[in-house]
Amino acid sequence: MRAHVGDQLVVGADRVGIVVGVPAADGSPPYIIKWQKDGHIAMVLPDQYSRIVPAGERVVTGKQAAVGEQAAPGEQAAGEPVTSGGTPQALGGTPEAAE
């Protein structure tokens, strides 16, 4: 995972922050994040449930996106497995089961 200042860090289904600092020259974690919800600034080491959304791309969180909603290229609803076509799969099922 690599980030740049201005990218967004999405943690879990709905926690979103803006990358305001990247101490490592190669863009690797930890990152300095300003959380959108409360403005708190913290140094964060993202885990396996986090993702970086490049600056300028819209963030779709699990609470904003309905199951079955088409995600824009490069986006996915947090917590939802997405096929190459961008349609969430039914849990434990096949892409056809979600249609």
CATH number, domain of 22, equals 2.30.30.440
- 10 with 50, same domain? yes
* Co-location of 80 and 48 in the same domain: no
pTM of the model: 0.61
**Domain shared by 34 and 20, yes or no:** yes
Q: Report which residue type is found at 2.
A: R
9-13, 35-39, 45-49, 92-96: range with lowest mean pLDDT: 92-96
Residues 54-58: contacts with CB under 8 Å, at least 24 apart: 54/4, 54/7, 55/4, 55/6, 55/7, 55/8, 57/8
Q: Specify whether 65 is located in the same domain as 51.
A: no
Residues 7 and 45 in one domain: yes
Domain shared by 45 and 71, yes or no: no
Q: Is residue 80 pLDDT above 90, yes or no?
A: no
Residue 95 has pLDDT above 60, yes or no: no
Decide: 32 and 23 in contact? Cβ < 8 Å. Answer: yes
- Residue 99: which domain range? 60-99
Which pLDDT score, from 0 to 100, does residue 5 have? Answer: 96
Q: Are residues 49 and 81 in the same domain?
A: no
